[in-house]
């Protein structure tokens, strides 16, 4: 599409705008489906450079289309922050109490704007669509709404970045097949008549029943699925009882189930329901399971991964391309891959020495990732558009 030297020059020319935008978004983070200021800031930045976006008014988020004819390929970025307090000692820290960009979505958004600015200055061999998606951090995610609105109509492939604090700046991590896991939620209510802890034989020991479920449900699940398929069931909340000598009438348990296998994801609800019923039956407790299927795994298309490795390696250098591991976290980018082939790419952003995990109040990123992201994404979109 364009020689590497010119591409680097164009990226360098828009980089100050990208960095300034990322810092402005970081100072004023917004939670899922509340990204009104962020949406307007992105839109106004694009308009200032002659690009007219399509807003999802009255909702948050926007879409940018570039190019006039040819194959259309998409790049997705996300807008929302997390309900976390950021330490005030951080540079350009959040000015919104209890809200923080602790997952790098501010960087993703700024990179998306930079990609649009560079592409608008090129003679494109096809068409590009940049999707600024709200509510990635919600359950089951904002991608569902955008898909219902036809955001992938006419799109042949899609890719996205996610910053990786475990990978040094300048490198991108690629993996064919599952790169993130599913995320389902479950809520179990155990019911019994209650009674005195001195006479558990005359009632139903719900705390004991809950203990059986907590200890045995994950273990039994691990014996019913292929050990080669990463699968986890973890409890995050247990509530029950009001006094030391009273057996309660209800106990609540809740948690998540995750797998990296798309076919197993379709079966998990039935497996969990059967196991809960079988575990509780001998205790005499009544078990009510509320299971919510959430986000499927992100399964990267091998052909798209190969294309991205070639195009990104051509501008970043072959040593910049590295492998990456499957994460048990979830990403609603998977919704797009149910419609068109694509890939999620890890973007190196480690700041300092020891990496700090995503969703941590201590999370920071190296802003060198912004330039790398814009450069790599523009190169990839150019190659995809030109691949007849």
The tens-digit pLDDT sequence of the chain (388 residues) is 668 899 999 999 999 999 999 999 999 999 999 999 999 999 999 999 999 999 999 999 999 999 999 999 999 999 999 999 999 998 899 999 999 999 999 999 999 999 999 999 999 999 999 999 999 999 878 999 999 999 999 999 999 999 999 999 999 999 999 999 999 999 999 999 999 999 999 999 999 999 999 999 999 999 999 999 999 999 999 999 999 999 999 999 999 999 999 999 999 999 999 999 999 999 999 999 999 999 999 999 999 999 999 999 999 998 999 999 999 999 999 999 999 999 999 999 999 877 888 999 999 999 999 999 999 999 999 999 986 4
Structure tokens belonging to residue 13: 């020319």
- pLDDT value for 388: 45
Q: Which long-range contacts (CB under 8 A, 24 or more apart) does 304-307 make?
A: 304/157, 304/159, 304/341, 304/342, 304/343, 305/174, 305/175, 305/176, 305/343, 306/176, 307/380, 307/383, 307/384, 307/387
CATH 3.30.70.360 in the chain: give the residue spans: 183-295
Q: Which residues pair with 256 in a beta bridge?
A: 185, 234
CATH 3.40.630.10 in the chain: give the residue spans: 4-180+297-386
- pLDDT value for 352: 81
Sign of torsion, CA 350 181 313 45? negative
- pLDDT value for 355: 81
Q: Which of 29, 73, 135, 105 is nearest to 301 (CA)?
A: 73
d(CA 117, CA 115): 5
- pLDDT value for 103: 97
Please give the backbone phi and psi of residue 191, each rounded to the nearest 5 degrees, phi first. -125, 145
Q: Which of 42, 73, 39, 57 is nearest to 152 (CA)?
A: 73
d(CA 33, CA 193): 42
Render the burial of 296-318: b for 16+ CB within 10 Å, e for the rest. Answer: bbbbbbeebbebbbebbbebbee
Q: What's the pTM value of the predicted model, to 2 decimals?
A: 0.94
d(CA 306, CA 339): 19
Structure tokens belonging to residue 142: 């904002």
CB 67 within 8 A of CB 83: no
The CATH homologous superfamily for domain 4-180+297-386 is: Zn peptidases (3.40.630.10)
CB 381 within 8 A of CB 75: yes
Sign of torsion, CA 61 67 68 74? negative
The strand ranges marked E within the chain are: 54-55, 62-66, 72-78, 127-133, 155-164, 172-174, 177-180, 183-191, 195-196, 231-240, 246-247, 250-259, 286-295, 298-300, 321-323, 342-348
Question: Taking CA 317 as the corner, what is the angle to CA 173 and CA 321, rounded to the nearest 5 degrees?
Answer: 15
- pLDDT value for 1: 61
Cα 302 from chain centre: 20
What DSSP line would sit under 135-197, residue for residue? -TTSSS-THHHHHHTTTTTTEEEEEEEEEETTS-TT-EEE-SEEEE--EEEEEEEEE---EET
d(CA 127, CA 382): 9
CB 78 within 8 A of CB 136: yes
CB 333 within 8 A of CB 141: no
Which CATH fold would you assign to the domain 183-295?
Answer: Alpha-Beta Plaits (3.30.70)
- pLDDT value for 354: 76
d(CA 186, CA 132): 30
């Amino acid at each position: 599409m364009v020689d590497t030297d010119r591409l680097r020059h164009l990226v360098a020319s828009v980089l100050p705008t990208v960095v300034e935008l990322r810092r402005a978004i970081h100072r004023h983070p917004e939670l899922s489906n509340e990204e009104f200021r962020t949406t307007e800031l992105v839109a106004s930045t694009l308009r200032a450079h002659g690009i007219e976006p399509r807003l999802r008014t009255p909702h948050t988020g926007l879409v940018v289309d570039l190019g006039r004819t040819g194959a259309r390929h998409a790049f997705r970025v996300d807008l929302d922050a997390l309900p976390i307090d950021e330490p005030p000692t951080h540079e350009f820290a959040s000015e919104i109490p209890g809200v923080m960009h602790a997952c790098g979505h501010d960087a993703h958004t700024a990179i998306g704007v930079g990609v649009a600015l560079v592409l608008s200055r090129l003679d494109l061999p096809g068409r590009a669509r940049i999707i600024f998606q709200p509510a990635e951090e919600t359950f089951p995610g904002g991608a569902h709404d955008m898909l219902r609105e036809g955001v992938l109509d006419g799109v042949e492939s899609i890719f996205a970045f996610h910053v990786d604090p475990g990978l040094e700046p300048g490198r991108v991590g690629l993996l064919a097949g599952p790169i993130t896991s599913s995320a389902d939620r479950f809520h179990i209510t155990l019911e019994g008549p209650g009674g005195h802890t001195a006479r558990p034989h005359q009632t139903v020991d719900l705390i004991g029943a809950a203990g059986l479920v907590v200890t045995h449900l994950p273990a039994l699940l691990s014996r019913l699925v292929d050990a080669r398929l990463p699968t986890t069931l973890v409890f995050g909340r247990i509530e029950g009882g009001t006094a030391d000598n009273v057996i309660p009438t209800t106990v609540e348990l809740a948690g998540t189930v995750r797998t990296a296998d798309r076919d197993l994801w379709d079966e998990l609800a039935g497996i969990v329901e059967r196991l809960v019923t079988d575990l509780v039956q001998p205790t005499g407790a009544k078990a009510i399971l509320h299971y919510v299927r959430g986000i499927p795994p992100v399964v990267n298309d091998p052909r798209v991964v190969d294309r991205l490795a070639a195009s990104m390696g051509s501008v970043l250098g072959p040593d910049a391309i590295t492998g990456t591991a499957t994460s048990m976290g979830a990403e609603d980018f998977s919704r797009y891959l149910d419609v068109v082939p694509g890939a999620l790419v890890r973007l190196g952003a480690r700041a300092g020495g020891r990496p700090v995990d995503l969703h941590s109040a201590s999370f920071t990123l190296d802003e060198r990732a912004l330039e790398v992201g814009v450069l790599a994404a523009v190169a990839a979109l150019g190659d995809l558009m030109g691949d007849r």
